[in-house]
Amino acid sequence: MKKYRKITSLLLVVAMVISAFSVTAFSVSAASAGSSVYFDNSKYNWENVYVYAYGTKNNAEWPGELMDKTESGLYTKSFPSTYKTENIIFTNGLEEDAGKEQYPTGAGLSLKSGECKLLTADLKWIDYGKPDDHGYGFSYLPTGTAFSGDTLNVKLGLKNASSGYYSVDGAEKVAYSDNETITIGQGKIGNSEITLDLFATGSDGVETTQSYTFKKTFSATDTTFSAQSDGHTTDAESGYYSTNPDLQLGKNKTITVDGDVSDWDSSMIIAQGVANDDPRVYMPSSMHEQPWDAYALYAAWDDENLYFMWEMTNTTYIVSPEDNFASSNEARPWRNSIPMYLALSIDPEKQATGKAVGTNKDGSTYTNPFVWGCDGGVAKNGGTSFTTHVDTLIAMDSNNSNGGASIYKADTLDTDGTYMFNYDTRVPIGVKSFQAQDNQNGFKIKYANGTASDTIYGINSPKGSRIMGDNTDMNSNWVDFFDLGYKDEYGYIYEIAVPYATLGIDKEYVEQNGVGAMLILTYGTSGMDTLPHDPSMLDNADVEYSYDPSTTHEKEDVDNITVPLARLGALLDDTVINYASLEVNFGADLNSGQAAGTLINLTAQAYNANGAVEYEFFIDGKSVQKSSSNKFAWTPAETGTYNLSVTVTDSDGESVTEQVVYTVGASDKTYQIGDVNLDGKVNIIDASEIQKYCAELVTLSDLQISLADVDKNGYVSIVDATEIQRMLVSD
């Protein structure tokens, strides 16, 4: 059909533009009217539900205001536009000794002017339309949710509407009912976004559109290695974690220790962590505390020094901005003097367990179970021990103010054949003067705000919704926090130079034998995060701290390191390398369900391939393209279900085939002439859509254009809108 737009009256265009401005003004005024919250009480079944708001305004003295129960069973309360940025806490209104309950138990949930939020029965804080009386469709999964499987189930809801429609990646609208679950992601290539549009019309006849984006991810298998001689008893953590990614061992390069990341690049990463995995996140009320969140460890060496740089992230700005202290530069790690250290494996003949020995002034010998945090041979608040081979500790502090910072070596034999760190033979590396920053024995350290990585991968989930073990689950809500507004200055970096003379080795030793390394961040005495990541950092993350039940026991437990250390310079002689096999990420740029005649771009991304790669694409088993190109443009002519596949072959002859099922045509639904907005009925809204189209204020799909041509003259004009109006009058 020809797509002509025949404007019969200039006055119509002007009227439509004025109408458009009026609608916009109404929407803005509605949004500026304030904000609203809703609460699903089916989890708690409180007799009374109160809401307490604080921030730019306080709605009342604690416990806040009594909420109103709606016909749907939800509880609600609205706030005027003077409430700009608030924190929301729901409570049963009782005192501590009378059965007080509240959610969350710490800082409140974020609410901004113009927002409407719902706390669901499973404690998800989701967008719930807008704070007005229009009908809305909404998703129980927040926009930005990521998934790594083939598909994702999304539960849809309706607010002030009895029915709605959804469209995935611009496909034709499909009707849905309240609490219906749909499936998205079929046929879509990994590491791409899926757009879900929800349409709903309330009793006022106003149709609203809510858009959500979801990300389908793909992560290739890593090449891994293992050496029995390093003493590890737990495999290196995988997924987004990586130890010596791509077998990187650091680089021979001189580094200027100045707090500037420009000397470093991703090829120097020897241990990769993930963001938002420090123990705080598993306690609903701990997000107000400083993050000790290690993200990446880099290494280098030259003729005189070993160099290390590590990145620490602070995603509180994104996941919990209402925690004002943690989501500010006041949370920078050098605000206090907190122990942090590098555990090294240099001498394979000496295995440390964590114990330390020293000499008293009277010549007697004393031992401590750990290097620091002990009093009279008793650990005060946890500590760190080692099963994996470690023989050297570079102990420093987060603001370089501790003059006692030292390098400790395990050079004293214990009765069980292991070695103890020796206080008497320590090498001082602390400062003589904090102002002068004059570290001893050639040791250098600098810190600054900054980020070296181009991506910051982590789990985007609000406090109270994290589950132990989700940090290694590829189906968690993994995101690149840069996509959500993360900024370089949110992160922190540390650089250090360690002279060979303090370690008793030289450049030749590093390049021929290599050195094992692990960064350990602590909160006082107990580990909070490590690179490479060790599971002991989270084994008590959801257990209460003995001094403060709102925070985590990880601050005082004993952490035993069992994973392999990262290597720099060289691998161990008994290393077995497990090379990753050829893999392919294959799929379409548009979600399954597109209409026949739609251009669909198929792409195949090969991983772990050797040399040149050949791609052969198949449609229902028939080869349609065989070349070095990893893309194929496909325009299906008919509705139906297709089997799409690609075979990838590298220069070594290794081959892999990946297949997806793709449906063309979302449903067998038929529409009557005039149903331009595809809602199953013809009314004045359809006439309005035609008027907007003629005034070039909206675009219509091919299906909508065919339905808009009411008089069947081959093009859409204002006459078609008039025909619909006549039809409605005659009815």
Distance CA 646, CA 626 (A): 9
Cα 399 off chain centre by = 29
Distance CA 58, CA 56 (A): 7
Indicate if the pLDDT at residue 730 is higher than 80.
no
Q: How many CA atoms lie within 13 A of 269 on its CB side?
A: 20
Q: What is the pLDDT of residues 96-149, one digit of tens each?
A: 889 999 998 777 888 999 999 999 998 888 999 999 999 999 999 988 888 888
Cα 493 off chain centre by = 20
State pTM to two decimals.
0.77
Query: DSSP letter at 60?
Result: S
pLDDT of residue 670: 57
Distance CA 280, CA 286 (A): 5
Q: What is the pLDDT of residues 135-181, one digit of tens each?
A: 999 999 988 888 888 999 999 999 999 889 999 999 999 999 999 99
Local structure of 14: helix, strand or coil:
helix
Distance CA 651, CA 19 (A): 63
Indicate if the pLDDT at residue 523 is higher than 50.
yes
- Residues 187-195 have a mean pLDDT of 96
Q: What are phi and psi of 409, to 5 degrees?
A: -120, 140
Indicate if the pLDDT at residue 3 is higher than 60.
no
Distance CA 442, CA 428 (A): 10
pLDDT of residue 731: 64
- Residues 339-361 have a mean pLDDT of 95
Q: Which of 113, 127, 87, 136 is nearest to 33 (CA)?
A: 113
Q: How many residues does the chain have?
A: 731
Q: Give the chain's domains with CATH numbers.
A: 5-30+673-730 (1.10.1330.10), 33-216 (2.60.40.10), 239-346+395-408+428-546+564-569 (no CATH), 583-664 (2.60.40.10)
Q: What is the pLDDT of residues 43-78, one digit of tens each?
A: 999 999 999 999 888 999 999 999 999 998 999 999
What is the sign, positive or negative, of the torsion defined by CA atoms of 702, 704, 709, 712?
positive
> Could you tell me the pLDDT band of residue 197, with boundaries at 50, 70 and 90?
very high
Q: Which of 292, 296, 297, 295 is nearest to 281 (CA)?
A: 292
> Could you tell me the pLDDT band of residue 415, with boundaries at 50, 70 and 90?
very high
pLDDT of residue 438: 94
Percentage of the chain lying above the pLDDT 90 cut: 73
- Residues 22-36 have a mean pLDDT of 50
First-last CA distance in the chain: 29
Q: Let me know: does 39 contact 90? Beta carbons within 8 Å.
A: yes
Q: What are phi and psi of 706, to 5 degrees?
A: -65, -35
Percentage of the chain lying above the pLDDT 70 cut: 94
- Residues 580-592 have a mean pLDDT of 96
Cα 524 off chain centre by = 28
> Could you tell me the pLDDT band of residue 704, with boundaries at 50, 70 and 90?
confident
Q: Which of 278, 289, 280 is nearest to 323 (CA)?
A: 289
pLDDT of residue 20: 37
Q: What is the pLDDT of residues 661-698, one digit of tens each?
A: 999 985 445 567 888 887 778 899 989 999 999 998 88
CA angle 126, 132, 136 (to 5 degrees): 55
Query: DSSP letter at 19?
Result: H
Q: Let me know: does 529 contact 521? Beta carbons within 8 Å.
A: yes
> Could you tell me the pLDDT band of residue 27, with boundaries at 50, 70 and 90?
very low
Q: Let me know: does 35 contact 116? Beta carbons within 8 Å.
A: yes
Q: Which of 192, 198, 195 is nearest to 163 (CA)?
A: 198
> Could you tell me the pLDDT band of residue 408, with boundaries at 50, 70 and 90?
very high
